[in-house]
A and B are shown apart, each in its own frame.
Chain A
């Protein structure tokens, strides 16, 4: 079951530096939420706090609450490893494991955890995940080849297949198309619309058309200046953000007056 995310007054730090200040957001299950904003406004940083990836960076820490179906991800006793199993992530740069084949990449989540699934079951998972990522037809005859040998767009879809193979509840995407050509981008966007039926998706993008195309709701992040923390300025229906935003800064950004 896809889960909802409620962030309450979250501050994100790199060491002593406050990167994102006082962000609160409520993300409904089975929706696509886009984070937009100028570079350096902390949207990617914020995204990484949603599955506790932020703290793998030395000095990275947060205050505040991130609730996954009412359960605080930063609460006592929570194991970040379990959090990341539940909240999958796809990165800006496609990052298949260079030493693994396509097949092994897809089941990496299981292999990592030392799961003892049978060959048949793993085969099923690979096929289902690759189909889910619209990649099956392209790679079904070369599953034993290195994942790094695929094209950029295929690699990114392989990463998506890898992320959904472990059946997460939420899928985070950090500018998944920024390094891809328009055709590959389109393929990923189509895929996002399909995945929406099963996962709660949060996507960071620099491309406002993309945000408008794929997302149900959009959050606009901004920062007052260099060295200032990023803030969540406005969060609303995508159609409203792009047609009639309530904040001046959002309108300026959308209409291309800055950023």
Chain B
């Protein structure tokens, strides 16, 4: 065995270098290509007299991708060109999608913000016509909060217990069936859930639409979301913890209630809030089941109730034939309130999750 380690030669023939060295595009390649792409696209716009800028932006992006990939292919070879193409497309996805998505939020805030005022939050729409100013969302806020709360009261226990069943007990055909139908239920469109509640609660009984009917439909939509996310949270509880408890002779149900559930508690709260946020903005079932009332109705078990989504729908519908000056403002104000409500739930859920589990990024 050779132990005589002479110092490495400082330079090697270039033939050896070629193996590790890869030809790369210069650093300025990307910005340069971008400039070329944009310039070409603008040139096309004026040459071919395209109307609107959206087309030009798309053309610039496509040109950029083509030029950069082609350049890379000729200099860096096939693999690097593919890599660059993929990176470019992935970055493009981000720019082309996340930015507009964020712009949607900005747009809502822009349109809705002027409507928000103390008056807007404390008054109902009773007696306010489509071409009149004023009015507010108090009645709708009451309805939405009541109905969503009732839905949560029904759906969350069912959801969490189902998740417990699937995680702790679930074996065999029944558990498989439940898992399957949770999946299927996730796919049930909200309007179908609304129709279902309509058929068995309102149709034939002659009952008028009322808030709780909406809650039932929302609960149907909420259950699968709650099951899925709670299941995930319960599965995060390490098997060892359960084994430790069981090995100490703790009954299974007490292991679940005293060890599994407390450990997963913050996660369960988070998933509950997310499930609530998911249905809070549902509109479709409410059209069928709750109707819309522009006055305040505190009783979810009798009579039409206003809700935020339905108020938006109502105001948008009343726009026709009017200037839309006031209805639009109110619709956007209500929509913004709805978004804020949902975002608030989300932020609380996420803060809870973060406070509870600093290790999970």
CB under 8 Å from chain A, chain B span 111-130: none
In this assembly, does B51 line the interface, its C-beta being within 8 Å of a C-beta of chain A? no
The answer to whether A78 touches B22 (Cβ under 8 A) is yes
Chain A residues near B12 (CB-CB < 8 A): 69-71
In this assembly, does A81 line the interface, its C-beta being within 8 Å of a C-beta of chain B? yes
Chain A residues near B11 (CB-CB < 8 A): 70
CB under 8 Å from chain A, chain B span 65-114: 78-79, 82
**Bound complex: CA A48 to CA B79 (Å):** 24
Size class of the contact patch on chain B: 20 to 34
Q: Shortest CB–CB separation between residue A238 and chain B, in angstroms?
A: 10
In this assembly, does A23 line the interface, its C-beta being within 8 Å of a C-beta of chain B? no
- Smallest CB gap from A73: residue in B: B20
Neighbour of A113 across the interface among B3, B7, B79, CB < 8 A: B79
Chain B residues near A4 (CB-CB < 8 A): 8
The answer to whether A82 touches B20 (Cβ under 8 A) is yes
**Bound complex: CA A73 to CA B17 (Å):** 10
The answer to whether A6 touches B2 (Cβ under 8 A) is no
The answer to whether A71 touches B16 (Cβ under 8 A) is yes
**Bound complex: CA A70 to CA B5 (Å):** 13
The answer to whether A82 touches B1 (Cβ under 8 A) is no
CB under 8 Å from chain A, chain B span 190-246: none
Neighbour of A69 across the interface among B16, B22, B24, B82, CB < 8 A: B16
In this assembly, does A259 line the interface, its C-beta being within 8 Å of a C-beta of chain B? no
Chain B residues near A86 (CB-CB < 8 A): 19-20
The answer to whether B78 touches A77 (Cβ under 8 A) is no
In this assembly, does B173 line the interface, its C-beta being within 8 Å of a C-beta of chain A? no
Known contacts A70-B11, A70-B12, A71-B12: A26-B20 contact under CB 8 Å: no
The answer to whether A79 touches B22 (Cβ under 8 A) is yes
Chain A residues near B8 (CB-CB < 8 A): 4, 6, 26, 67, 69-70
Chain A residues near B9 (CB-CB < 8 A): 70
In this assembly, does A47 line the interface, its C-beta being within 8 Å of a C-beta of chain B? no
The answer to whether A81 touches B10 (Cβ under 8 A) is no
A-B contact count (CB 8 A): 54
Q: Shortest CB–CB separation between residue A167 and chain B, in angstroms?
A: 12
**Bound complex: CA A93 to CA B24 (Å):** 34
- Smallest CB gap from A67: residue in B: B8
Chain B residues near A79 (CB-CB < 8 A): 20-22, 24
Chain B residues near A237 (CB-CB < 8 A): 3
Chain A residues near B7 (CB-CB < 8 A): 6, 26
Chain B residues near A68 (CB-CB < 8 A): 20
The residues of A with any CB-CB pair to B shorter than 8 Å are 4, 6, 26, 28, 31, 67-71, 73, 77-79, 81-83, 86, 113-114, 216-217, 237
The 9 closest A-B pairs by CB, nearest first: A79-B22, A6-B8, A26-B5, A70-B12, A77-B21, A70-B9, A82-B20, A70-B8, A78-B20
A-B contact pairs, 25 of them (CB 8 A): A31-B1, A31-B2, A67-B8, A69-B8, A69-B12, A69-B16, A70-B10, A71-B17, A71-B20, A73-B20, A77-B21, A77-B22, A77-B23, A77-B24, A78-B21, A79-B20, A79-B22, A81-B22, A82-B19, A83-B20, A86-B19, A113-B79, A114-B78, A216-B1, A237-B3
